[in-house]
Structure 1
Amino acid sequence: MSLIVAGRFTTFAAAQSAARQLFAQGFLEEDVSLFFVNPRGQHAHAAADSLHSVTPGAGQVGLAQRWSTAGAVAGAALGVAICAPLTASFIAAVTAAGIGAYAGALLGGRLHAYLGMSPTLRERVRHAVHHEMRDSGVLVAVHVSPDNQAKAAHALDEAGALAIERATGHWQQGRWADFDPTVPPVPLSEFAQRHA
């Protein structure tokens, strides 16, 4: 595991300026990484969307298609049922059926993905959406040692970081490889009090 210090910025320009300050103070390019963190609540969707890529077995794909098809049929029927009493127009009924089918297919696919999750993954998705503590922004992560972590934190603070945190993780090929946006950040105490 590697020791990592990270600062959050509102723009890529500010983050790049912080990176230049780190380089000027002797940090190497392979020890500094910039990346964007999505707003709260948008991380769990990735877990649900990527379910099909991690679900073993080709039978799961066929099952997902059946859920989508069932949703499309139900949506089309609902669209016609709602539209028919309101208008006698054939075009309006076909349009309502098409919109209903599209919405039903999307809903059916999502429902399959959600129901197909293990209870543990389903709870993680539910928990992540409602309990995320990390704010969005551009994160400048620095691979540090115990000797230079304070130097990196001070450089990020001087560059205008909105928050500075410390973490342990896997640093591979010049980036924080196992960064998880749903894990709450651990602020560096001396900087957390000043930024609060």
Structure 2
Amino acid sequence: MNATARRVTGARSESIRSAGQRIYDDAGRNSEAAIEALILEIRKRPALHEDAFRIAATTIVAGFHHQDNAKVKRGDDIGTVHVPTAEVANDAPVVFTPQSAASVKASNAAFKRFAVTLTGLYLFKIKDGNGGEFLLGQATPDQLRAAEAHYRAQGSTMVRTARWLEKIIACSRDNMPIHQSLNLKEIERMKDDAFNSEV
């Protein structure tokens, strides 16, 4: 939440969350009534708009994140993602500005030379515990170590996720993306072992 979105109301400053809490309490904790009243309040107070947009966008994108991870864990196909290879990942982004069909074709060919296509469990998105995130297929063992410790501290499902990451770390090569160390079948077997284990 953007802490700068405040409105001075009399002698107090109110954030969107404190306004929401006040309205929720005033509505007798009736969720539907509180939602409608909060929407009206946000419409009246432009200072709250940025926070409202950020909360809405964060909630929607988080839903996609959780949905994708759940599907990937089940083995559902969620498509593929093209990511830069290590050779270009640390350089300035490669920007293509096609002018013609020939230029589009050349740009696509260049992109394929400097990108890898990830699918399946390589697309499992991992939170690093510090507000960042990355795809499993792009992670290095060092990145996974911090994430594994974060997941282990969270609870039973997260402990199983931590065990899965621990197995991946143990079987991968240092300083290399996971997609270059382990194939999807190996990652899937490790995931099944970890998630079927006792906590």
RCO higher in structure (CA 8 A, sep ≥6): 1
More helix by share: 2
TM > 0.5: no
Q: Which is greater in Rg?
A: 1
